[in-house]
Structure 1
Amino acid sequence: MSSTDAARTGPSRPNFEFIDGLRALAALSVAFFHAFLFTGLAGETTDAFGPLARIVLNGSFAVAIFIVLSGFVLMLPIARRPGYELRDGLRGFAVRRARRILPPYYASFLFFLVLILAVPFFRDPAGTRWAGKVPITVDGVLAHLVMVHNLDASWHDQVNGPLWSVATEVQIYVLMPLVLIPLWRRFGGIPVIALGVFFGWALHFIAPRFDGAHFWYIGLFAAGMLAAQEVTRGRRVPLAGPTAAVGAALIAVVMIAFQYRLRPNEWLTEVGVGLVFALGLFALASASAEGRSNWVIRALESRTLVKIGLFSYSIYLFHSPLIGLSNLGLIHIDMPLAVRLAVMWLVITPAAVALSYIPHLLVERRFMTGHQKQELKTPEPSAVV
C-alpha cells in the first residue's frame, strides 16, 4: 500500500485547527456587517458612510465562506474511504447532520419567534431594517419549520434573517449523498463544481424568484469538497497559496471600488469569492498537513480565534436578532449617527457575540459530534466536524 493509499484509508483523520479561526473571522465579519446595516433607520448608514460601506458590505461574503468550509470538513472523512463511501450509509449521514444542525437552528428560531410574539414593541420596526423580520405569518413559520423559507421572498427574512442560509445548507446536505457524490464517482470534482455553479446560475436567469436561496452555493460546497479530496491525496498545486492571495486582493479591490454596481450580482461575485477561498483553503490545509506552518496558519490558530470558532454556529444563529432588537431599543435615543454606529459596533455586537455563548452551552454543545466534544476538553481545540 502506498503512502497516499494509507493516508486515504487510515483510521486517523487530520486536524486542521486553523479552520476554527476561519469560522471565527467569518462569524465576526457577518456580525459587524449586520450591525452596520441595522444601525439607525433603514439605509441610514449606507447613505451616510458610503466609503466605509464599500468595505463593510463585503461581510456578506462570509456566508459563501461558511459553505466552502462545510464542503471541506464533510468531505475529509469521505475522501479517505474507497469509493467515497459514507460511514454508516445514507441514514447515518442524515442522522449525524440533522443532529448537529437542527437543534440549535430550531432553538434560535423558536426563541426569537416567542420573544417577538410576546413583546408588542418588537413587532414595530419603527423605520429600521427590523421591518424585514416582521410581520410574522403562519406560512412563514411553517416554511421555517420545514426549512424551505429560503425559497420565497416573503418568508426569507422573517424572525431571523440569517436562517435562510441554514435552509440552503441543509438542502445541499441532502444533495451531497444523493447527487453530488454519485456524480463525483463518475465524473470527478471539477465537473461537479461546474454543474453546481451553472445550476444556480440557470435558476438565477430562468427563475430569479429563487435567488434568495443562492443555489450557486452548490458549486462552492463542491469546491470545498475538492479541496478536501486533494489535501487527502497529498496533491501539490504549485503557487496555490500566492495565486489565492493575489485573487483575494484583486477581488477585494474590485468589490470596494464597484461595490454598488456589483452587489446586486451576488450570483457572480459570491462564486468568485468562494472559488478563490477554496484554493486558499487547499493551500493552508496542504501546508498544515505537511507540517509547513506559516504566519497565516499560526494567526488563525490563536487561542482566542479557535475558541470563538468553536461556537461560531451559535453566533451565526443568534447575533442578528440580538443586534436588530438592540437597535430598535436605541432608535428613540437622540445621538449622532457616528456615535450610534460606534455603540452598535463596540458595545452591542460584542455583547451579542458573548450572549451567543449561552445557547452554545445550553443547546449546541449537547449536539456537537463526538470528535468535537473530545476536542473541547483539550487545550488546543480542533476544527474537524
Structure 2
Amino acid sequence: MSAAHLEAGPVPATQHVAIVDGLRGLAIALVILFHYWQITWWVIPLPFTGGQHNLEALQVAGALGVELFFFLSAFCLTYPQAKTMLEGAPLASLAHYTYRRAIKILPSYWLAMLILLVCFPTLYPTSAERGYWVDVLMHLTFIHNLFADTHYSINGVFWSLGVEVQFYVLFPLLAWGFRRQPWLVCAGMVLLALAYRAWTHTQPLGEFSHLNNQLPGFLDLFAAGMLSAYLLVWLRQGPAVLWAQLRPWCAGLVLLALLVLALLFADLNQARGAAEGYALWQSAHRLALAGLFVVLVVAGSYAPALVRSLIANRVTVWLSLLSYNLYLWHQVVARVIKEYGWWPAATPVPMDDPSWRWSMFVVAWLAALAWAALLTYGFERPLLQYGVRGVLARLRTRWQQFQQANLAEA
C-alpha cells in the first residue's frame, strides 16, 4: 500500500477511526437524553417553533444508544483482526487482549461499585431475594444481568456491562472463526439472534423485556460491528481515486441513514405506549438498526468532511473520550441531585415545577460531565497509559518528591 494511498484516503491505517469516536459520543448523548428525560420529564423544545415542535422522539429513543455501544464495541474489537486478515498486521495475544479489556473496564467499574455501596446504598438497593453479598458477587462476575432481581441493582446501567463482558469472553472464539470465514460467522450470529428473539416472543409478556436484553438478543448488532470493521479495512485496499468519485454517493447514504433513523425514532415514540411497547419495538427493529449503523460507519468514513463532521466533531469526540465514565455515572449523578434535594424545586413534586425541569436537566448534564472528566483524566486514562504498576510507581515518585521538598523547606 503506497504512502499516497494512505494520505488520500479518509481512514488512516491505524486503529483510530474518527467516525467511530463520533458515533460513540452520540451514543452516550442519546443515553443521557433518555435517562434525563425520565428523571425530569423535560421535553426539549425546538427553538423558534413557539413550542409547537420538540425533541421528545429523540429523547425517548435515547435508550437505543446502548445498542449503538454494542455495535461499536464489536467494531473496535474486530478492527485489529481485520487488519491482520487483510493487511498482514501482527495479531495481539490472548493475554494482551484480556489485559486491555480488563484495564479498560474493571477499575472504573469497581470504583463505581465501591462508592455506590458505601455512600449511596439505598439509591439502587441490592437484591433482597439473594442478599447483599450474593448480589455483589454476581456483579463482580458480571452475571447480574441474567436475573431479573439483580438486573438493575447497585447501579441501573450496570446491566449492559454484563452483556458486554459476556461478549468479551465469547469474542476470542468468534474472532478465530471470523478470521477464517467472516461472512459465515456473521450470518450465523444474525440467525442466532433472530431465532432467540423469536423464542422470547413465545414467553410471557412480563418476562419478555428481561429476556430481550440478554446477549443472544444482541448478537446481530455485534455481528454488524464485526462486519463493519472488516468492510472498512477491505475497502481501504481499493484505489483512492475510486473513493474520491464515490464520496457524493457515500454522503447521500449517510444522510439517508440519518433520515431513516429519525423516522424510526418517531415510530418508536408512537409505539412506546403499548404494553412492553418499547422492548417489542427494539426486538422487531434491532436488525434494521444494525444495518443503519453499518452504513454510518462505512459510508461515513468515505463521505466528504462536511458530512463526516455531522457525526465526528470536537463535541462528539470529546464525549467519546468521557463516554465510559459518563455512562457509569450520569444517572447516579442526576438521581443524587434530585433525591437529595441538591437542586430544590418550587413545588413538592419537582416535576410539577417547569423551571426545575429544564434547569435540573442542565445542572445534571454539567455535573455529570465534570465528574466524568475528573475520573477519565485523573483515573481511567493514567491506568490505560501506564498500567497499574506504572501508576503506582509514579505516585510513589511524586510522594518521595513531596517529602524531599518538605525536608528542604524545613
The interval holding the TM-score normalised by the smaller chain is 0.7 to 0.9
Asked if the contact 1:193/1:223 (under 8 Å) is kept, the reply is no
Larger radius of gyration: 2
| Larger displacement relative to structure 2 (324-333 or 226-235) | 324-333
Report the secondary structure of 1:162's partner residue. helix
Partner of 1:222: 223
Q: Aligned in 2, Cα 1:88/1:321: closer, same or farther, shift over 3 Å?
A: same
Of stretches 243-252 and 338-347 in structure 1, the one that deviates more from structure 2 is 243-252
Q: Deviations over 1:322-355 (max 9, x none)?
A: 1111111239744334223212211122211221
Q: Is it true that 1:357 corresponds to 2:361 in the alignment? A: no
Paired residues, number: 343
Is the CA contact 2:42–2:361 (under 8 Å) kept in the aligned structure 1?
A: no
Normalised TM-score (structure 1): 0.77
Distance 2:125 2:307 in 1: 38
Aligned-residue sequence identity (percent) comes to 26
Relative distance call for 1:283 and 1:302 in structure 2 (3 A) is: same
For 1:318-357, list aligned pairs within 5 A.
318-330=329-341, 333-335=345-347, 336-357=352-373
Among 285, 288, 307, the alignment partner of 1:296 is 307
Residue 256 of structure 1, aligned match among 244, 264, 269: 269
Trace 1:120-131 onto structure 2 (pairs within 5 A). 123=122
Is 1:245 the equivalent of 2:240?
no
Deviation (angstroms), 1:193: 4.1
Q: Conserved in 2, the CA contact under 8 Å of 1:223 and 1:278?
A: yes
Q: Residue in 2 aligned with 1:27? A: 28
Decide whether the 8 Å contact of 1:311 with 1:360 is kept in 2.
Answer: yes
Select the residue among 105, 110, 118 that pairs with 1:101. Answer: 105
Alignment of 1:50-69 (within 5 A): 53-69=56-72
Alignment partner, residue 278 of structure 1: 294
- CA gap of 1:252–1:181, structure 2 versus 1, over 3 A, is farther
Cα offsets for 1:219-241 (capped at 9, x unmatched): 20110111110110117896643
Aligned-pair CA distance for 1:101:
1.4
The amino acid of 1:255's aligned partner reads L
Mapped partners of 2:285, 2:272: distance in 1: 10
| CA RMSD after TM alignment | 3.4
Q: In 2, distance between residues paired with 1:365 and 1:256?
A: 37
* Structure 2 contact 126–135 (Cα < 8 Å) conserved: no
> C-alpha separation between the residues in 2 aligned to 1:269 and 1:137?
37
| Matches of 1:36 and 1:75, distance apart in 2 | 34
Kept in 2, the 8 Å contact 1:220–1:274? The answer is: yes
Amino acid at match of 2:38: L
Aligned-partner Cα distance in 2 for 1:271–1:116? 38
Partners of 1:296 and 1:354 lie apart in 2 by 29
Distance 1:278 1:156, change over 3 A: same
The 2-side partners of 1:133 and 1:274 are apart by: 34
Query: Are the structure 2 counterparts of residues 134 and 176 from structure 1 closer, same or farther at C-alpha, using a change threshold of 3 Å?
Result: closer
Paired AA for residue 311 in structure 2: L
Q: Which residue of 1 aligns with 2:46?
A: none
Aligned CA distance change for structure 1 residues 299 and 241 (closer, same or farther; 3 Å): closer
Q: Point out the more displaced range, 90-99 or 146-155.
A: 90-99
- Give unpaired runs (5+ residues) of structure 1: 118-122, 124-129, 371-385
Structure 2: which amino acid aligns with 1:28? A
Q: CA deviation at 1:12?
A: 4.2
Deviation readout 1:157-208 (Å, 9 max, x if unpaired): 1121111111101111111111354156236254134234225415624664
The aligned counterpart of 1:316 is: 327
- The Cα of 1:100 is off from its aligned counterpart by 1.5
1:151 has 2:146 as partner: yes
